[in-house]
Chain A
Amino acid sequence: MSKPEAIKEASMEMQKAMIARNYDAITSKHETGRKVSSTFVPGNLNELLMCFDIVNNLPEINAIQAGMRKASGGYIMEAEKSGHSEDVCTYVKADIGQMSKGNIAPNGKPYPNPDVLMLSYTGCYTFMKWFELLREEYKCPTLMLHVPYEGDGHSTKNMRDYIVKQLKEVVIPGLEQVSGVKFDIDRLRQYLRNSAKAEDNLVWCLEQGKNKPSPIDAYFGGVYYIGPIFTAFRGTEDAVTYYEMLRKEVQGRVENHQGPLTPEGTYFNDQKYRLIVEGPPNWTNFREFWKMFYDEGAIVVASSYTKVGGLYDQGFRHDPDNPLESLADYCLGCYTNLNLPTRVDLLAKYVEEYEADGLLINSIKSCNSFSAGQLMIMKEVERRTGRPGAFIETDLVDPRYFSAANVKNRLESYFQMIEQKRRGGGSKTVAA
């Protein structure tokens, strides 16, 4: 029996069309003459790439697409057969394995080779090696933008100056050379203006998780909400329109005291447990994973994954008056570029501000940037908030590491723990 089609809201349909257009732009580069870059979600310089008419292709997103289409497992095994370790990031192996399987985009057409690898190296060590590996395959220019880690819990002038200098002396001249388009800072300012508008609406939507019932799911739904801003659309008019549309949808649910729409097409109103989730989702069993939550009445009211491409809810906005400095600040402030104490502060704050029952960590085997230290994060957040934490383990796009029974068991135990805590008077939260 085939799986029923997920029910989608208008904003989701709009986003789907935007993504389809972007894939068409990527795969038609030989016809249109447009240049294509590959780049990453954290530290994504989409506005800058747009200044050079460069189409943005994101291998992380392609791996997610492959995961959701159940293709990533085969790609990963293909990469492992060719010498890539079973221990390393499955996004990388899905990407590399996909190449040897024809490198077909979701629109059924082959991905063209990128013209430039925009190695925006923010918050994840693997990015650097990933593009060194791709560089061997594509033999195209690679532009490295090194974003220092906020190891002491804050950025410094030196870090910002270093990034701006790289933008001015490495990235912009490199993109000019690849594209043949001269850099126009006023064009960048306009895109950043659009970004800030979209960011305002994204933040408004994310903050509605404070309502009871929450009109959003900030994890499973959240990955849709962040899609345009985190990928190839930040800075576009489309993204501005998308977030206006999303805001109206969320506003409507707030007014009607409705929860978010589940893939089954029902509003998830009966919310028993309010959770903060740390870590990326699993993509190979995304709907099954999501269902485990709403079946038990668990809603995610805030998550760290929706901050991986920028911490807009903490006040950051792209600033057209300081365009390059603003891009530097953006890169520095992405979630995985923050040190562990800052991550703990943020998650503990979410638990309190969103009146959550506790912190659930989905620890991803592939992703040391997120995962290394998460047990400490859980202990600290529990200690500070007095709310119980829980830990589950899955992977990004390797289906071998998704054990449904195991995850479900742990979730059920966690919800029982929350119930016990409530009975003992430990949790302030009352389900809506």
Chain B
Amino acid sequence: MSGKNRTVADIMAVCQEMFEDLNFTYARKWKDAKPGRKVVGFLPVYSPIEMIHAAGCLPLGIFGGGDQMEVIHGDAYYQSYICRIPRSTIELGVTNRLDFVDGMIFPFVCDVIRNLSGIWKLMFPNVWSKFFDTPQNYDKSIGGTYYIQELHELKEGLEAMTGRKISDADIQRSIGLYNENRRLIREVYAFRAKQPWLAPTSEVYVLMRAGLMMDVEEHNQMLKDYMAAAAKEDRPKRDNVRISIYGSFCEQPPLNLIKSIEMAGCYVVDDDYSLNNRFLMVDVPTSGDPLEALATTYIENSVETSCKYVPDGKVKGQFHVDAVKACGAEGVIYATPSFCDPALLDRPMVCNKLSEAGIPYIAFKYAENSGQMQPIREQAGTFADSIKLWS
């Protein structure tokens, strides 16, 4: 069902089901619907999923196992001091939940996800897998040139896996669809920032997560439907504080954590959850060489996040300050997964920059299976109160 008649509850029912479904029924059905279809999984934080789409495959966002899956085998692969997403991803693999997935892309995030790409090669030698290293040099003639060639190699890998050539027109068409997806997502984020009581983050979050597991055109329609339906909702505006959440770009928090923050009196008006669909901040050109277009957009107009090097030290963290100002947040919750090197090493730098800009913040850690929400509610509630009383 799509169109004007869909209510928020209808849309959320679909998204919630997909979000909770660790058997990936949607993707399995999509694959079975036509002979020869293939599914390619990708991990956080950024992969050019236009390329997967252009290859005729379904890009499937893999965000670990969440809080509903018991990890039994995965713990045998990782020491206690390593974050949870790789172990639950392994669990998904060894329990055959990903047995229909034909390829996996492990983008550069950190050493843990990087090494997971090698584990995947060892454990699932018949699955095409690719470690995708984006440039840390942001000069178009250096990092850009390197990246274009990496995209060529990605394209060749996908072609070899699917057995079909990918034309420039295929990529341009996919770029066009994902441009629309990004535009609509920016609209949803702007809608939420403007009227957060109409679009709570516990909804927006699953809407985004579902989008990274479904056909992009279907998601585009869903985003439109959601905004139309949410605007009609009769939801009271509460005396909440407006906060941004950063540091949560890779391993995702349990949905209950987001709900707990909201219940504690916070409207989340910006976040870096499941960032892949907002990584490129502007439309990618749909004319000219599509690989060059993707590379240039990445080099010149992608978000600042902890897995990227910031060449100019003076502006380190400024991206977050600007984002806070743009969405009108009154404070920041820097919420990171335990043992997350990128977010935790960045934390002092980003938080210092927030302090310099007079933006209050708190920081805490979570795991995707965190169960105790009372401390989170207390911290977030105290933070909200402190903003109300003293900011």
Which residues of chain A have a CB within 8 Å of any CB of chain B? 82-85, 87-89, 92, 121, 124-126, 128-130, 132-133, 135-136, 139, 142, 144, 146, 148-149, 151-153, 156, 158-159, 161-162, 165-166, 169-170, 339-344, 363, 365, 368-369, 371-376, 380, 393
Task: Find out whether the CB atom of B114 lies under 8 angstroms from the CB atom of A169.
Answer: no
Known contacts A139-B313, A371-B81, A373-B119; 5 further A-B pairs (Cβ under 8 A): A83-B351, A129-B342, A144-B136, A368-B341, A372-B78
Can you list, as one digit per residue, whether each of B127-159 has a CB less than 8 Å from chain A (1) or not (0)? 000111101110101110110011001000000
Task: Find out whether the CB atom of A340 lies under 8 angstroms from the CB atom of B79.
Answer: no
Task: Find out whether the CB atom of A165 lies under 8 angstroms from the CB atom of B145.
Answer: yes
Candidates B121, B307, B338, B347; contact of A339 at CB < 8 Å: B121
Distance in Å: Cβ of A337 to nearest Cβ of chain B? 10
Candidates B106, B108, B110; contact of A368 at CB < 8 Å: B110
Docked Cα-Cα span, A373 to B78, in Å, equals 7
Distance in Å: Cβ of B34 to nearest Cβ of chain A? 30
Docked Cα-Cα span, A166 to B340, in Å, equals 29
Task: Find out whether the CB atom of A126 lies under 8 angstroms from the CB atom of B133.
Answer: no
Task: Find out whether the CB atom of A132 lies under 8 angstroms from the CB atom of B115.
Answer: no
Kindly list chain B residues whose C-beta atoms are within 8 Å of the C-beta of A342. Answer: 118
B122 within 8 A of A: yes
Given the interface pairs A125-B111, A133-B348, A170-B142, the reply to whether A372 lies near B82 with Cβ below 8 Å is: yes
Task: Find out whether the CB atom of A158 lies under 8 angstroms from the CB atom of B116.
Answer: no
Give 26 CB contacts A-B under 8 Å: A82-B348, A85-B365, A92-B345, A125-B342, A126-B341, A128-B136, A129-B306, A129-B341, A129-B342, A130-B345, A132-B309, A133-B348, A135-B313, A139-B313, A146-B309, A149-B133, A151-B133, A158-B149, A162-B137, A165-B142, A170-B139, A340-B117, A372-B116, A375-B79, A376-B122, A376-B123
Kindly list chain B residues whose C-beta atoms are within 8 Å of the C-beta of A132. Answer: 309-310, 313, 316, 345-346, 349
Given the interface pairs A125-B341, A132-B349, the reply to whether A146 lies near B114 with Cβ below 8 Å is: no
B339 within 8 A of A: yes
Docked Cα-Cα span, A133 to B310, in Å, equals 11
Task: Find out whether the CB atom of B122 lies under 8 angstroms from the CB atom of A344.
Answer: yes
Task: Find out whether the CB atom of A142 lies under 8 angstroms from the CB atom of B349.
Answer: no
Kindly list chain B residues whose C-beta atoms are within 8 Å of the C-beta of A128. Answer: 136, 309
Interface SS, A side: helix
Kindly list chain A residues whose C-beta atoms are within 8 Å of the C-beta of B307. Answer: 125
B211 within 8 A of A: no
Task: Find out whether the CB atom of A169 lies under 8 angstroms from the CB atom of B142.
Answer: yes
Task: Find out whether the CB atom of A373 lies under 8 angstroms from the CB atom of B115.
Answer: yes
Task: Find out whether the CB atom of B115 lies under 8 angstroms from the CB atom of A372.
Answer: yes
Given the interface pairs A83-B351, A133-B349, A165-B145, the reply to whether A372 lies near B112 with Cβ below 8 Å is: yes
Task: Find out whether the CB atom of A87 lies under 8 angstroms from the CB atom of B142.
Answer: no
Given the interface pairs A124-B111, A339-B117, A372-B115, the reply to whether A146 lies near B78 with Cβ below 8 Å is: no
Candidates B150, B348, B351; contact of A158 at CB < 8 Å: B150
Distance in Å: Cβ of B107 to nearest Cβ of chain A? 10
Task: Find out whether the CB atom of A136 lies under 8 angstroms from the CB atom of B313.
Answer: yes
Given the interface pairs A87-B338, A126-B341, A156-B153, the reply to whether A372 lies near B309 with Cβ below 8 Å is: no
Task: Find out whether the CB atom of B76 lies under 8 angstroms from the CB atom of A88.
Answer: no
Can you list, as one digit per residue, whether each of B356-371 has a CB less than 8 Å from chain A (1) or not (0)? 0000000001000000
B344 within 8 A of A: yes
Distance in Å: Cβ of A133 to nearest Cβ of chain B? 7
Task: Find out whether the CB atom of A341 lies under 8 angstroms from the CB atom of B143.
Answer: no
Residue in chain A with minimal CB distance to B131: A151
For A92, A169, A365, A376, the residue with the greatest tally of chain B CB atoms inside 10 Å of its CB is A376
Task: Find out whether the CB atom of B341 lies under 8 angstroms from the CB atom of A376.
Answer: no
Task: Find out whether the CB atom of B145 lies under 8 angstroms from the CB atom of A151.
Answer: no
Docked Cα-Cα span, A165 to B142, in Å, equals 7
Candidates B77, B344, B348; contact of A376 at CB < 8 Å: B77
Kindly list chain B residues whose C-beta atoms are within 8 Å of the C-beta of A344. Answer: 122
Docked Cα-Cα span, A139 to B76, in Å, equals 43
B375 within 8 A of A: no
Docked Cα-Cα span, A15 to B167, in Å, equals 59
Kindly list chain B residues whose C-beta atoms are within 8 Å of the C-beta of A82. Answer: 348
Given the interface pairs A88-B344, A136-B316, A341-B122, the reply to whether A125 lies near B114 with Cβ below 8 Å is: yes
Docked Cα-Cα span, A82 to B351, in Å, equals 12
